[in-house]
Amino acid sequence: MSVTELRPNMEHWQERVDMAAAFRWTARLNMHEGVANHFSLAVNEDGTQFLMNPNQTHFARIKASDLIMVDANDPDTLSGPDAPDPTAWGLHGGVHRHCPHARCVMHVHSIFATVLASLADSRLLPVDQNCATFYNRIVIDDGYGGLAFEDEGERCASLLSDPKQKVMVMGNHGVLVIGNSVADTFNRLYYFERAAETYIRALQTGQPLRVLPDDVAEKTARELEEYPEQDVRHLAELKGILDDEGSNYAS
């Protein structure tokens, strides 16, 4: 029996398994920040109750059963076992309270996305297909105000009102990606980091950039948004690899 077929007596088990796989693969790609950074997944209709990684646990060790339930409208959540740290509560709670379309939220300080966020001009120009994926679909936060405690989290959430913009380049900070499921959001996070790497490495050559015309970039972005099941198959393959390796992520 595949480990993903096990069903402990816990709510939202399949969602937990998907989240755990995303944590494990993010660590494997070295897109983690040690025991910092967080992923969250809404499990109720208005998005205010969500699963999140426990405080100060490395992404490479997170299991499905480790995830904690957080209520964005209940500050007492912060007093429970393995409660999220105040910055996780501030950022993810703010987004889930104000952006019900953000069912899943992934925030990391991955290297190339953070390099992009450190540039005076943090635009991602459409110099290849991956970069074009995000054409007109990024919001840039240029108002960094320190650690993402509650006020900072509320400010960031206010920038995600347009459902079309599912990536926030957090100036001087990192990247925040939203989506309608774990698979959708992780797939977007993965390809944004790939796109940022291509763009940063292109800049490093010092050569003129071959930038796609606006209409071609927009057409490419739409086509990729409509590409069938790529996100679901991507995550399924990652879970299959972890299963083949005997990983305990789905326990």
Q: Hey, what domains does the chain have and what are their CATH numbers?
A: 3-244 (3.40.225.10)
Quote the CA–CA distance of 169 and 149 in Å, as a whole number.
18
Quote the CA–CA distance of 219 and 114 in Å, as a whole number.
27
The whole model's pTM is what? Answer: 0.94
Q: Which parts of the chain have pLDDT scores under 50?
A: 1
pLDDT tens readout for residues 147-167: 767 688 888 889 999 999 999
pLDDT tens readout for residues 91-117: 999 999 999 999 999 999 999 999 999
Tokens of residue 81, six digits:
């076992």
What is the bridge-based pairing of β-strands 167-170 and 38-42? unpaired
The one-letter code for the residue type at 71 is D
